[in-house]
Structure 1
Amino acid sequence: MKDIFALKLYTRVARLGSFSAAARECNLSQSQASRIVAELEESLGTRLLSRTTRAVVPTEAGAEFLARMEPILDALDEAEQSIREGGELRGTLRLGMPSSMAIREVIPRLTPFAARHPKLNIQILLDDKRQDLVREAVDVAIRIGRLTDSRATARLIAKVTRVIIASPSYLGKAGTPTSPADLSQHRIIGGPATLVPNAWVFERDGKTETLELSPHVSTNDNEATVTAATAGMGITSTQQWACRRELRDGSLIRLLAEWRTRDIPVHAYFPAGRATRAAARALIDFLAAEFRSQQEADTEAG
């Protein structure tokens, strides 16, 4: 049987298209990674990777080997987990998500889970763009907004309240809107949450108002959106998770709270074509319970 580590290393080189990137993941030097894969190719009697100065790509034989080997490696991981006493998780769990959500909501909640599974190495990959789950070997990704990837298996784990916010300094100069229609007279900050459908839909007493507002300032990052609002640059629509701290300390004020806005769904995505790992399922179960508790607390607080 081929060395399992060599097989796992090969899959990462093939997916990342880089010996150096795969070596960093596996705590190896580039030369060590190259030697291990070369020895694997020699033992198989075929070239698995085509190497150029610009890229490393699987050969036809390498692509077929990759497609057959990845499910086997996943199954081996699952078999190991299934026989461990006490349900302790081991190995590496790769979790992908937007940076703002990770920093504000997920990482602060992970301590009990990590303490329960001390031999589990949790790797958190932060990217506000949607990640290629297969190429980056992400075991589970958390994404905010509507479903877009039909190839992945998705599980709804939370719904986040959308809020309209501005700073006291901005409202002191521009006035406070008392109805959705008033927003057209204000400076608008555009961010990721304002780019999705229904960003400016308001409901009250059976009445619905939909606004199309052009931003005066825009950014593709939630943290930057909240920072711009805190700095007094205008009004924005974002998820409550993204500005909970600022609402509590008074640096931002929620507007039009008597109007209902459309909740933002939060999904866990599991890569298509791969068995869902026990560690990924356990982490998502844990986070879903945490988010439910937070939602109940937010509802009670009004």
Structure 2
Amino acid sequence: MRPIENLTDITAFVRIAAAGSLSAAARDLGLSLAVVSKRLARLEAALGVRLVQRTTRRLSLTEDGAAFHERALRILAELEAAQDAIGGDGRPRGLLRVTTTAAFARRLIAPCLGRFHERYPEIRVHVIAIDAVVDLVRDGIDIAIRQAALPDSTLMARELGRNWRVLCASPDYIARRGRPATPQDLADHPCITYGDPPMTVWQFARRGEAAVGTIVSGAIMSNDGEVAHAAALAGAGVVLKSIWHVAEDLAAGRLVRILEDYESPASPLQAVFPSARHLAPKTRAFLDFLGAELRVAAAGLGTP
């Protein structure tokens, strides 16, 4: 084993592990594929082990690679924190990796990225839109936006708002089938359910009262909320969706809210990040910015 002489080799390896391929890592780093391949080969030669296993479809870490990757992330995080501590002006800068669901990324993150860049021109934002819950430390993620309570974890969380769910259907559906007046009326309506497994008990309560579960059913089910959303837009039935996901459709009249006198229990909308001990200026800037954006949006939606 030889000493590792170039920190850029470690950086390249971490980006390769996060991106899942050399070509994707090269694009992220703004380098050629040849340069990234050379850096990985140089690091493997210095360590005397193979760090990645290449297949025809995807690259994966070897056992040695996974062990080194975990420590490499800590090294780079501590180095970044040290630079921020002595950097003088403390301006937010660098690459910020944010992950959230594809729907939330399209509807809420993407529309405000231009304003964020105008305010913080030295921050580059990489949005990883994926519905699966990723390992923040393993994948080198700075912030994850999650629409549920954080389980017991070593991660830190900041609540950005509340995730209210509303019942809605298309105007065409209401014209054909009528509008339910109470949760019990949903027994006479096809309800579009989703989740893994699809959620068939919907909670409703009048304001100030305890929520009561209502069993719903219908011919259309999916593991994906976007499929349910699209089916509702096409007039296939009634759907219970996050206000953040259907706000534009409600405003445009493509969907109509039902049972407005009832509420469905809200879950926290949270930003999750590995540690608050050395919160980088870029991370703090994005958290503050997104929180302010969502508060303004929530006020416009009239959420409780």
Is contact 2:14-2:140 (8 Å) kept?
no
Against the structure 1 CA distance between its residues 66 and 231, is the aligned structure 2 distance closer, same or farther, given a 3 Å change threshold? closer
Distance 1:21 1:177 in 2: 49
Deviation of residue 57 (structure 1)? 2.6
CA–CA distance in structure 2, aligned partners of residues 249 and 50 of structure 1: 49
* In 2: Cα distance, 1:140 partner to 1:108 partner: 18
* Gapped regions of structure 1 (runs ≥ 5): none
Deviation string, structure 1 residues 150-179 (Cα, Å, up to 9, x no partner): 343222211022100011111111111000
Counterpart CA distance in 1 for 2:225 and 2:245 is 7
- The reply on whether 1:180 has 2:183 as its aligned counterpart is yes
Q: Comparing 164-173 with 195-204, which one deviates more in the overlay?
A: 195-204
CA distance in 2, matches of 1:48, 1:290: 45
Code of the aligned partner of 2:49: R
Cα deviation digits, residues 43-88 of structure 1 (max 9, x gap): x35225254546543454x555433332221122223334556543
Take 2:281 and 2:194, find their aligned partners in 1: how far apart are those partners?
35
Q: Counterpart amino acid of 1:164?
A: L
Corresponding residue for 1:296?
299
Match of 1:201 in 2: 204
One-letter amino acid matched to 2:98? L
Letter in 2 for 1:111: G
1:182-205 superposed Cα distances (whole Å, 9 cap, x missing partner):
001101111349956974333356
Percent identity for Structure 1 against Structure 2: 31
Compared CA separation, residues 223 and 65, structure 1 to 2 (3 A): closer
- 1:168 maps to 171
Q: Is the 8 A contact 2:20 2:60 kept in 1?
A: yes
Distance 1:274 1:84, change over 3 A: closer
Q: Give the match's secondary structure for 1:135.
A: helix
Q: TM-score, normalised by structure 2?
A: 0.85
**Aligned equivalent of 1:35:** 38
Tell me the distance in 2 between the aligned counterparts of 1:264 and 1:220: 19
CA contact 1:93–1:279 (8 Å) conserved in 2: yes
User: Equivalents in 1 of 2:293, 2:31: separation in Å?
Assistant: 36
Question: Aligned to 1:210, which of 206, 213, 221?
Answer: 213
Q: More displaced, 163-172 or 107-116? A: 107-116
Q: How far apart, in 2, do the equivalents of 1:194 and 1:168 lie? A: 28
2:281 corresponds to: 278
Note if contact 1:166-1:255 (Cα within 8 Å) is conserved in structure 2. yes
Q: What is residue 158 of structure 2 aligned with on the other side? A: 155
| Aligned partner (choices 57, 62, 76) of residue 61 of structure 2 | 57
Residue type at the aligned position of 2:257: R
Range that drifts further, 30-39 or 82-91: 82-91
Number of aligned residue pairs: 299
Q: Secondary structure at the match of 1:176?
A: coil
Q: Which residue of 1 aligns with 2:103?
A: 100
Distance 1:217 1:50, change over 3 A: closer
CA-CA distance at 1:248 after TM superposition: 1.1
Aligned counterpart in structure 2 of residue 266 of structure 1, from 261, 266, 269: 269
| Further displaced range: 65-74 or 234-243 | 65-74
Per the alignment, residue 138 of structure 1 pairs with 141
- 1:236-255 matches, within 5 Å, as 236-255=239-258
Is 1:120 paired with 2:123? yes
Rounded to whole Å, the distance in 2 between the matches of 1:14 and 1:101 is 25
Residue 26 of structure 1 deviates from its aligned partner by 2.2
Tell me the equivalent position of 1:228.
231
1:193–1:239: 8 Å Cα contact kept in structure 2?
Answer: no
Task: Give CA deviations for 1:244-278 in whole Å, capped at 9, x if unaligned.
Answer: 11111212111111112211321111137995433
Q: Is the 8 A contact 1:180 1:202 kept in 2?
A: no
Residue deviations 1:12-60 (CA, integer Å, cap 9, x gap): 3345564344334323344332211222333x35225254546543454
TM-aligned CA distance change 1:275 to 1:68, over 3 Å: farther
Does 106-115 or 46-55 show the bigger shift?
Answer: 46-55
Q: 1:149 to 1:12 in 2, by over 3 A?
A: farther
Q: Which whole-Å CA distance do the structure 2 matches of 1:275 and 1:226 have between them? A: 39
TM-score where L is the length of structure 1: 0.85
Gap runs ≥5 in structure 2: none
Amino acid aligned to 1:57: L
